[in-house]
Amino acid sequence: MSNDRTESILNSAFLKEYVPTIGIECHVQLKTVSKLFSGADNNAKEAPPNTLINHIDLGLPGALPVLNEQAVILAIKAAKALNSRASNFSKFDRKHYFYPDLPMGYQISQFDEPIILGGYVNIYDPINQRAKRINITRAHLEADAGKNIHPDKKNYSLVDLNRAGTPLLEIVSEPDMHSAEEARLYAEKLYLLMRYADVTEGNLYYGNMRFDVNVSVSKTNELGTRAEIKNLNSFRSVERAVNYEIIRQVKLLEDGERVVQETRGFNDQEGTTYSLRSKENADDYRYMPDPDIPPIILDDSYIDKYEDETNHLPDYYIDKLRDLGIDEVSSYILLDYELEEGAGILEYVLSLPKNSVKPIVNWIINIESPIILKLANITNNKINRVHSLYEDLLSISQEGLINSNSIKELIKKLFEMDKPPKDLRLYIKELGLIQNSDTKELESIVKKVVEDNPKAFNDLKNGEQKVIGFLIGQVMKISNGSANPSIVKELIEKLI
């Protein structure tokens, strides 16, 4: 599809006639110490091929899978994050197919009685400022397969079984999303949920979370034929793949062709999807209960115990912050920031007196976080130390002793210091950041600025209000940023 054609479809009216419908399956690798059914190390990231395997992962004769209890515990926590609850009874089934990365000739998965049934995920669309609930159909435990590697220009392929047997939680959503944006928001929220529930390392680069998106478009109430785009490992690629797929399918239908039910791959460089295999003749996996693994039977007290152990989840913080007057967009920024820095920022914000929350959150988002992103090796201790000065700083600013420009300057300095100042007020004075509210002194600066910029002043007099910002800026410059901007503004207005 040429870019011109894509553009014209994107801009055309008929795209709007089609409603896209999207469902997502997400494979979450659980951060267990050992594999789902064997004692082999589960940390396959950088290990040389085929070093983290034992007789069970290799599918040797006589090898029996033994369920890793830690995976069950993580599934209980994930269930809570999905606003669901682990089932009292679930079981494992064998899903049969032949492939070199599948040593036993079957994958151990959960077919009709998964560990998690139902649930939902709340997402928030910042552009339309709209919250939405995406329902979860189910989530089940299964063992990951190994990896086939195809060396360039060689007549053989290689198999690495390090990943074989890694526990996966496959989370299946209802087809509740209707735009690429919603698909991305859902993927992002799922990531936050799994990270906060602490069930996955969540490293997308290493494929800790992989998304399969099912996309269809339709002009009517009846759903269209869907295509599944497999193995997307970033939020951006989820959004791009869905967008491409919507346009591809609309174009097909507008050209009088039909959408084929198939599995497709995504070319990240070109942002396009391509056909992998048709699904019209459905594979027959010959599911069968796995006789080697007794069912997972969980009594309520066991489930309760690990639900109670689960960390606070994103929606908990969003609700609390909303009560304190923080909007969802800001809350999501704080949630991300907490994951990046792990400095207890959320708990810190919740511990603040109600009146301090908004301005301090504003500092954290607009001043602190850009600073920290630039600095390497910033310790949580340091962040906490700076935080301990924020309330003091807030009262100083409310007293009008320091202007917002200087606050930015000050917070930057605080992060550069090894030790916090003993007396913040004294320190601000020493730095010369105290706001100048001396009307007489400021009057003379204002006069000078007006004389030096006659054209600007003239324009202002003629009603060009925006020029006043320029003049205030000049005064701030001469006063080394210490001038109280609201007094300066008054003084300029008086001169008109």
Partner 1 sequence: MWPSLSALASDINGGKVKAVDLVNKALKKIDEDKDYNAIISVYKESALEKAQKIDELVKKGQKVGKLAGIPFIAKDNFLTIEGYTTAASNVLKNYRAVYQSTAVNLLEDQGAICIAKSNMDAFAHGSSTENSDFFTTSNPYDKNRVPGGSSGGSAASVALSMVPFSIGTDTGGSIRQPASFCGVVGYKPTYGLVSRSGVIAMASSTDTIGTITSNVLDAVTVMDIISGQDKLDSTTLPSKYKIDSNKIKIIKKAKIGIIKEYLDYGLDDQVREGLSLTIAKLKNAGYELEEVSIKSLPLALAVYYILCPAEVSSNLSRYDGQRYGYSEANSLDLESSYVESRTNGFGKEAKRRIMIGTYVLSSGYYEAYYKKAQLVRTKLINEFNEVFNKYDFLIGPTVPTVAFEKKSKKDPLEMYLNDIMTVAINLTGVPAISLPVPLENSLPVGVQLIANQKKDNELLSLALSVEEILNRED
Q: How far is the CB of 59 from partner 1 (least distance, A)?
A: 4
Give whichever of 63 and 339 is closer to partner 1, judged by the CB atom: 63
Binding mask 66-95 for partner 1 (x = CB under 8 A): xx--------------------------x-
Residue 229, strand partner residues: 213, 264
* Spatial CA neighbour of 229 closest among 273, 290, 261: 273
Of the residues 20, 23, 65, 114, which one makes contact with partner 1 according to CB under 8 A: 65
Of the residues 5, 105, 340, 452, which one makes contact with partner 1 according to CB under 8 A: 105
Give whichever of 33 and 329 is closer to partner 1, judged by the CB atom: 33
Q: How far is the CB of 363 from partner 1 (least distance, A)?
A: 55
Q: Which of these segments, 17-25, 279-287, 431-439, 453-461, binds partner 1 (CB under 8 A)?
A: 279-287
Give whichever of 41 and 181 is closer to partner 1, judged by the CB atom: 41
* Whether 462 contacts 380, CB under 8 Å: no
Q: Which of these segments, 260-268, 284-292, 311-319, 480-488, binds partner 1 (CB under 8 A)?
A: 284-292
477 contact partners, CB below 8 Å, separation of at least 6: none
Footprint on residues 426-485 left by partner 1 (CB under 8 A): none
Q: How far is the CB of 106 from partner 1 (least distance, A)?
A: 6
Which class for 6: exposed (0-12), middle (13-18), buried (19 or more C-beta within 10 A)? middle
Footprint on residues 3-62 left by partner 1 (CB under 8 A): 55, 58-62
Give whichever of 63 and 434 is closer to partner 1, judged by the CB atom: 63
Q: How far is the CB of 285 from partner 1 (least distance, A)?
A: 9
Q: How far is the CB of 100 from partner 1 (least distance, A)?
A: 5
Give whichever of 100 and 126 is closer to partner 1, judged by the CB atom: 100
Give whichever of 271 and 289 is closer to partner 1, judged by the CB atom: 289
98 binding partner 1? (CB under 8 A): yes
Give whichever of 94 and 210 is closer to partner 1, judged by the CB atom: 94
Binding mask 369-398 for partner 1 (x = CB under 8 A): ------------------------------
In the numeric block, the tokens 């913080």 are attached to: 317
284 binding partner 1? (CB under 8 A): yes
Q: How far is the CB of 73 from partner 1 (least distance, A)?
A: 17
Give whichever of 51 and 379 is closer to partner 1, judged by the CB atom: 51
Give whichever of 50 and 83 is closer to partner 1, judged by the CB atom: 50
Per-residue H/E/C for the chain:
CCHHHHHHHHHCCHHHHCEEEEEEEEEEECCCCECCCCCCECCCCCCCCCCCCCCCCCCCCCCCCCCCHHHHHHHHHHHHHCCCCECCEECCEEEECCCCCCCCCEEEECCCCCCEECCEEEEEECCCCEEEEEEEEEEEEEECCCEEECCCCCCCCEEECCCCCCEEEEEEECCCECCHHHHHHHHHHHHHHHHHCCCCCCCCCCCCEEEEEEEEEECCCCCCCCEEEEEECCHHHHHHHHHHHHHHHHHHHHCCCCCCCEEEEEECCCCEEEEEEECCCCCCCCCEECCCCCCEECCHHHHHHHHHHCCCCHHHHHHHHHHCCCCHHHHHHHHHHHHHHCCCHHHHHHHCCHHHHHHHHHHHHHHHHHHHHHCCCCCHHHHHHHHHHHHHHHHHHHCCCCCHHHHHHHHHHHHHCCCCCCCHHHHHHHHCCCCECCHHHHHHHHHHHHHHCHHHHHHHHCCCCCHHHHHHHHHHHHCCCCECHHHHHHHHHHHC
* Whether 424 contacts 391, CB under 8 Å: no
* Whether 108 contacts 290, CB under 8 Å: yes
Give whichever of 106 and 306 is closer to partner 1, judged by the CB atom: 106
100 binding partner 1? (CB under 8 A): yes
Footprint on residues 290-309 left by partner 1 (CB under 8 A): 291-294
Query: Total residues contacting partner 1 (rule CB under 8 A)?
Result: 28
Q: Which of these segments, 70-78, 285-293, 429-437, 477-485, binds partner 1 (CB under 8 A)?
A: 285-293
Footprint on residues 217-276 left by partner 1 (CB under 8 A): none
158 binding partner 1? (CB under 8 A): no
Give whichever of 146 and 485 is closer to partner 1, judged by the CB atom: 146
Q: How far is the CB of 284 from partner 1 (least distance, A)?
A: 5
Where do contacts with partner 1 occur on this chain (CB under 8 A)? 55, 58-67, 94, 96, 98, 100, 103-106, 159, 284, 286-288, 291-294
